[in-house]
Amino acid sequence: MHRIGVIGGGTMGAGIAEVAARAGGEVLVLERDTDTAYLARARIARSLTRAVEAGKLDRDLADQAAGRITLTTVIDDFADRDLVIEAAPEIENLKTEFFTKLDAIVAPEAILATNTSSIPVIRIASTTANPGRVVGVHFFNPVPVLPLVEIVATLETDRVVVDKVTAYARDVLGKRTIESKDRAGFIVNALLIPYLLAAIRMAESRFASIEDIDEGMVAGCAHPMGPLRLTDTIGLDVTLTIAESLHTEFHEPHYAPPPLLRRMVDAGYLGRKTGRGFYSY
């Protein structure tokens, strides 16, 4: 798989495009208009520059990777892609709309993947004529840094599709892969979200300060980042969306979003991306 398509040039999409281009792929990124395409290009350029400044990437190789990424606002341009990875916002109707269109555009042998972090993949796959070629390929933020990719097979996904995307993520992108059943939250978020929600409930009840909750997990449990700062990094809106999906799927109380999380999202306190969450940035 050499011709890679990415739907969406936001934080996740830009990261996926970057790692695919750094691995030698010819990458096409879809954005809704020229303004957001410009922002996506700038986002990728900043990330490549950070990698160069950190000594993790040669400047010439960074320039070559940037040159392998093309931005477009026309979904029909994806007709020649071998693999298309959707990284649109976590809105089910939006994702299914993209997959319905892509299914009619790309070649029958092309693979369609979703980077959803919470929506059961079969709901997306069922909107296509060939759900066997649809698979979950869940990257983690920041994509160029974190090594893990969850591969999610639905009840319909062909085994050859799972094997191909696993080999691509592992052997071409250099990622570590784990395989999950198609359940809301998959492996990582099904374990992570209850932990984050428990920390939010602790802060909400004023059992301990935000700083002490985080310090307890960093200094006491060797976590690289405390749960509340991690929630800020993920995004409070994303955390809420995943929690709601998990609670809808399993109806277990530890997946229920705390009122504080809902109110902060209502107020626009979404974490690092808005400059304010549990901490100010």
2 is known as an active-site residue:
no
> What single DSSP character describes residue 255?
G
Residue tagged active-site, from 90, 150, 156, 180 = 150
204 is known as an active-site residue:
no
Residue tagged active-site, from 115, 117, 118, 245 = 117
Residue tagged active-site, from 138, 156, 245, 247 = 138
Report the SS3 class of residue 18.
Answer: helix
141 is known as an active-site residue:
no
117 is known as an active-site residue:
yes
Contacts of 136 (CB under 8 A, 6+ apart): 113, 114, 115, 116, 121, 150, 151, 152, 153, 154, 180, 182, 186
Judge whether 201 and 193 are in contact, CB under 8 Å: no
Q: d(Cα 217, Cα 119) in Å, to the nearest integer?
A: 29
Residue tagged active-site, from 47, 118, 189, 245 = 189
Report the SS3 class of residue 39.
Answer: helix
Q: d(Cα 182, Cα 157) in Å, to the nearest integer?
A: 10
Active-site residue set:
117, 138, 150, 189
